Amino acid sequence: MLERFAKVEGLGNDFLLLDRRDASPAVLDALVARLRAAAPALCDRRLGVGGDGILVVGPPRTAEAAATMIVVNHDGSRPEMCGNGLRCVALAVAGAVHQLVIDTDAGPKPCAVREFHPGTCPSGQVAIDMGPPDLLGPRRVGGRAFAAVSMGNPHAIAFVRDEDPEALARGDGPAVERDPQFPDRTNVEFARLEADGSITLWVWERGCGITSACGTGACATLAAAIAEGLAPHARDVVVRLPGGPLMLRQDRAGGSITMTGPARVAFVGEVEVPAASSTA
Ligand X SMILES: N[C@H](CCC[C@H](N)C(=O)O)C(=O)O
Q: Which residues are catalytic?
A: 82, 214
> Of 55-63, 104-112, 164-172, 212-220, which part binds ligand X (CB under 6 A)?
212-220
The contact mask relative to ligand X for 17-56 (x = CB under 6 A, - = no) is: ----------------------------------------
Q: Residue 92 in 3-state DSSP?
A: helix
**Binding test (CB under 6 A) with ligand X, winner from 6, 8, 9, 13:** 13
> Of 19-27, 34-42, 82-90, 175-183, which part binds ligand X (CB under 6 A)?
82-90
Quick check: 5 and 18 in contact, CB under 8 A?
yes
> Of 79-87, 100-108, 165-173, 175-183, which part binds ligand X (CB under 6 A)?
79-87
**Binding test (CB under 6 A) with ligand X, winner from 214, 223, 237, 248:** 214
Q: Is position 242 an interface residue for ligand X (rule: CB under 6 A)? A: no
Nearest alpha-carbon partner for 219 in 91, 83, 104: 83
Determine if residue 205 is labeled as part of a ligand binding site.
Answer: yes
Q: Is position 258 an interface residue for ligand X (rule: CB under 6 A)? A: no
State the alpha helices, DSSP H only, in the chain: 25-42, 83-94, 165-177, 215-227
Q: Residue 237 in 3-state DSSP?
A: strand
Quick check: 87 and 123 in contact, CB under 8 A?
no
Determine if residue 206 is labeled as part of a ligand binding site.
Answer: yes
Cα-based angle 220, 222, 225 (whole degrees, multiple of 5): 110
> Where on the chain is the footprint of ligand X (CB under 6 A)?
13, 71, 73, 79, 82-85, 153, 187, 205-208, 211, 214-216
